[in-house]
Structure 1
């Protein structure tokens, strides 16, 4: 948008043209005081309204739908009127440039006076247009392409472990270990229609899994893993809308079954900006299977949504196929009855996908490795309450596993729970303090072998400091009591500092 500026006439000329209007307000203007007419709304019987309407009729500088012709409120603020005037001046400027159409000297004087009286408002509009042009130019120079956005993230981490002798590992001690690592991600996000998104993520990482030191998955961090810092395709999926209420996602690589359903405790779920442990990020029952897969979300109402998903991790392997691949199917109802309360109920069925990577070794294989056809039915519930700048939440998960290929089809029950608390803006804008207390997956009943008698306790605290828009520093500590659900095992202490850089 451009603002057409016409050199102002002398006051005497203006007064001769508009003898029926008083121009006393001009004579008292100064750089210090705002004239009273600059504070009054424009009425349909004001000269400025009638003058612009006359210009519009003569030169067609306003379209038929202009609300100047049908004012609903009977009057306009000076800013509203200035916008209409600006549009008329812009159209006249374009017409005189593209054709031989000229503006009569009498009408030119009218336009000049209109510009004079509304010069503060027109200047403000001009300033806003310039700011929008600058932002548009910045976006054009920074965007990766017209349809694709490039995002990047680097995670640097240092972690230390302290422990004592492990009774379940022939009294081998856990050495005091300090490790460091990194994870680099580049993500290309492409939209073809505005309501879809193709995501392609490349990743290189080398952050050790602490279970190799401690002997238990309970100590694993939520951002660990290593591929020797080689570049790999970590994520490839396509999400698109189906009508006004439904959306679908097709995943070809990366992601897990839990990615197809929402979490009601999102402060903890991110690997780079959530809880520091794998257990703290999400309900373990959701970690039973990975892509390829498909998911569907349907909004039953503004407050209720239904989400379903299916994954078969080895479906693309011709020697395994969909029929024999470990699979997982999930369905979840999420309800948000108010802005401060959210809860969900989840059902999941899996085949040979019982190991959630968060519990004891036995909870991932309760049949001592003798079964090759484990079917599991899992049930979960999660709730979250927003209390000003504090969020209190909790979750429970129950898994009933059956060995279909063993005599009598023995079953085992596995239980997990957690209580979560997050405190936003603690110590500064963007900061987050988090607490996680819970029990990693534990066998509470087993028809094939013994149940796990002593419950492990997972105690976690972290503080996420927002250094600026692109840097997060998160120190945290994890304390494991009765690791591997054994009272004979001494506590394990894990400390870490995670630094996240995004661009």
Structure 2
């Protein structure tokens, strides 16, 4: 006989043995499997719910207080007569009737077993159910008018039901109606009480513990709708070897100790939306930028660098976004301060083992294709639409300086980037392929929070240069792929092409490519190893009459490789240490420049 049927018969048998309409308040807790969620865009970090509200109904007695010690059956045996009249339905408190798993959505009291759609006259328990429904009136059913009689019952559920029965007996005794109980019924219950004594004791201990925790949470909670999460990153690193590509002099080899802090307030107003406010501050200085910094180039630029427009360690609003669902398949992200490309990545990055906040890859380039890096932090909107579970379309528009009312600025008249992406994910989510397009325009002499005017922010100086006094337009195309070979090996790669137009001057072409190999759970579960090789954005062609700083028509003449390795050691769920190196051959795509090597040791704290 199956466990399901045994549990089913045991419950019915118990009801008939009592024969006094002891009504078990069986109210299964909502588990993860049946909790309503969007299958397309689940919202995380939303409403905080007190633990006590998640308790199954049968963990509590009829007055919703913590269960008290049940009186041993042996103390009740002597006064019990042999005969027991049947209680009328009206004699039973409503709190003792069987309920569906969701009291808030329970259907009304059924009066006939035929109202339960999944019960047939040929079912082996039909007569028992008919008696429970039509004679005792103790079955309510689920909201869809089903009984779900084949659902397995755990020992904890049965122990809780038994406790409810014993509580009901105590109520009858206290009310002076102990003569309604049969001696053999109590003998049976005594055996059950002894058998389930450990479960009952554990159940009482768990409820007492949850009551204490709930009281503490209610007294100390930050907010009922908002969750605060934090991230602290410290870095020890610097240039091991290499020259400044502009001055041709050796770069200083001084190691520094730097930091970055981010606090995020995630608020949900209805359980499916999210308002996120991010506050950030730090002093992690980039080792190089376009003809600036220690290396004189953004080749090998590290990730998570502080904005050069704000003082070090000044806390600023680095992100402000509201996300909500439009139907079951569309998510809308409206942001006043964010990177639009990151907003498209909310449903899952193409490069999950290299891209991450204060985690994974050491460099900015190993995280993602240059097609995502022509923009900057600003305001705009991102739309994610799922055609199916496997196919998603993403569209976004970002204005880089939306708060400035001056010429060549504002929400629609200044620097902007629009991006569209078609993403395919395999049913098992072990393969992803994305086709991405970006269109961007920069008026002359405009600067974003990253301190740049135009370009992919990574790669050669020529790829990031513009013509003085001329606006710059770019159409950029990218293809990105990810494949998890085994649970411990994953591959990713991309290729990107960008067509630059210096308005009224001429054109240029920029290419990049990259490939990564990741080793999840390397040496220890939760750890991550990564190796990356690629060519950062390289200016491959330039109109003859355009001079970007190296002469008319002069593009990058050599090929440079970006080689990176890191190992992320997860100390626990909240702390990780990541050592890594970035090796650049022929920096700034000039073979005359000696290779540069950067060493990095990042420690990340999350709370």
TM-score greater than 0.5 by the shorter chain: yes
User: Once the two structures are superposed, what CA deviation does each residue of 1:266-320 show, in whole Å capped at 9, x if it has no partner?
Assistant: 2211131121111112112101223211101111101111111000111221112
**In the alignment, is residue 158 of structure 1 matched against residue 236 of structure 2?**
yes
Task: Select 1:313's aligned residue among 400, 408, 420.
Answer: 400
Distance, in Å, in 2 between the alignment partners of 1:485 and 1:7 is 84
Secondary structure of 1:455's match? coil
2:324 alignment counterpart: 240
2:141 alignment counterpart: 65
Contact map agreement 1:296 1:308 (CA 8 A) in 2: yes
Task: Select 2:503's aligned residue among 386, 404, 410.
Answer: 404
Distance, in Å, in 1 between the alignment partners of 2:524 and 2:204 is 37
Map residues 400-439 of structure 1 onto 2, 5 A cutoff.
400-406=499-505, 410-439=506-535
Secondary structure of 2:283's match? strand
Distance, in Å, in 2 between the alignment partners of 1:223 and 1:80 is 50
Distance, in Å, in 1 between the alignment partners of 2:522 and 2:475 is 40
1:364 alignment counterpart: 464
Go from structure 1 to structure 2 and tell me whether the alpha carbon gap of 1:122 and 1:103 turns closer, same or farther (over 3 Å shift): farther
Secondary structure of 1:171's match? coil
Distance, in Å, in 1 between the alignment partners of 2:152 and 2:596 is 73
Distance, in Å, in 2 between the alignment partners of 1:66 and 1:81 is 19
1:210 alignment counterpart: 287
Task: Select 2:413's aligned residue among 324, 327, 341.
Answer: 324
Go from structure 1 to structure 2 and tell me whether the alpha carbon gap of 1:128 and 1:163 turns closer, same or farther (over 3 Å shift): same
User: Once the two structures are superposed, what CA deviation does each residue of 1:468-500 show, in whole Å capped at 9, x if it has no partner?
Assistant: 111111111000101111111100010010011
1:145 alignment counterpart: 223
Distance, in Å, in 2 between the alignment partners of 1:90 and 1:441 is 74
Go from structure 1 to structure 2 and tell me whether the alpha carbon gap of 1:398 and 1:70 turns closer, same or farther (over 3 Å shift): closer
Contact map agreement 1:476 1:496 (CA 8 A) in 2: yes
Distance, in Å, in 2 between the alignment partners of 1:272 and 1:216 is 22
User: Once the two structures are superposed, what CA deviation does each residue of 1:91-136 show, in whole Å capped at 9, x if it has no partner?
Assistant: 788x889xx9665433386467436415345445445544554554
Map residues 110-129 of structure 1 onto 2, 5 A cutoff.
110=185, 113-114=188-189, 116-118=191-193, 119-120=196-197, 121-129=199-207
Contact map agreement 1:354 1:364 (CA 8 A) in 2: yes
User: Once the two structures are superposed, what CA deviation does each residue of 1:216-271 show, in whole Å capped at 9, x if it has no partner?
Assistant: 11132102215311121111111111111111111111334343244211221113
1:347 alignment counterpart: 437
Contact map agreement 2:337 2:378 (CA 8 A) in 1: yes
Distance, in Å, in 2 between the alignment partners of 1:7 and 1:90 is 8
Distance, in Å, in 1 between the alignment partners of 2:216 and 2:327 is 33
Query: Which structure has the highest strand share of the two?
Result: 1
Distance, in Å, in 2 between the alignment partners of 1:96 and 1:488 is 96
Task: Select 2:476's aligned residue among 365, 369, 378.
Answer: 378
May I ask how many residue pairs the two structures share in their alignment?
Answer: 464
Secondary structure of 1:280's match? helix
Distance, in Å, in 1 between the alignment partners of 2:404 and 2:151 is 71
Contact map agreement 2:344 2:382 (CA 8 A) in 1: yes
Contact map agreement 1:8 1:113 (CA 8 A) in 2: no
Offset at 1:74?
Answer: 10
Secondary structure of 1:105's match? helix
Offset at 1:142?
Answer: 5.5
Contact map agreement 2:232 2:262 (CA 8 A) in 1: yes
User: Once the two structures are superposed, what CA deviation does each residue of 1:19-75 show, in whole Å capped at 9, x if it has no partner?
Assistant: 9xxxxxxxxxxxxxxxxxxxxxxx969xxx99x969x977x7x552289x9673499
Return the TM-score normalized by structure 2. 0.69
Root-mean-square deviation over aligned CA pairs? 3.4
Offset at 1:334?
Answer: 0.9
Task: Select 1:390's aligned residue among 489, 494, 509.
Answer: 489
Task: Select 2:272's aligned residue among 191, 195, 217.
Answer: 195
Map residues 221-236 of structure 1 onto 2, 5 A cutoff.
221-225=302-306, 227-236=311-320
Go from structure 1 to structure 2 and tell me whether the alpha carbon gap of 1:450 and 1:237 turns closer, same or farther (over 3 Å shift): same
Go from structure 1 to structure 2 and tell me whether the alpha carbon gap of 1:285 and 1:127 turns closer, same or farther (over 3 Å shift): same
Contact map agreement 1:257 1:329 (CA 8 A) in 2: no
Offset at 1:173?
Answer: 2.1
5+ long unaligned stretches in structure 1:
20-42
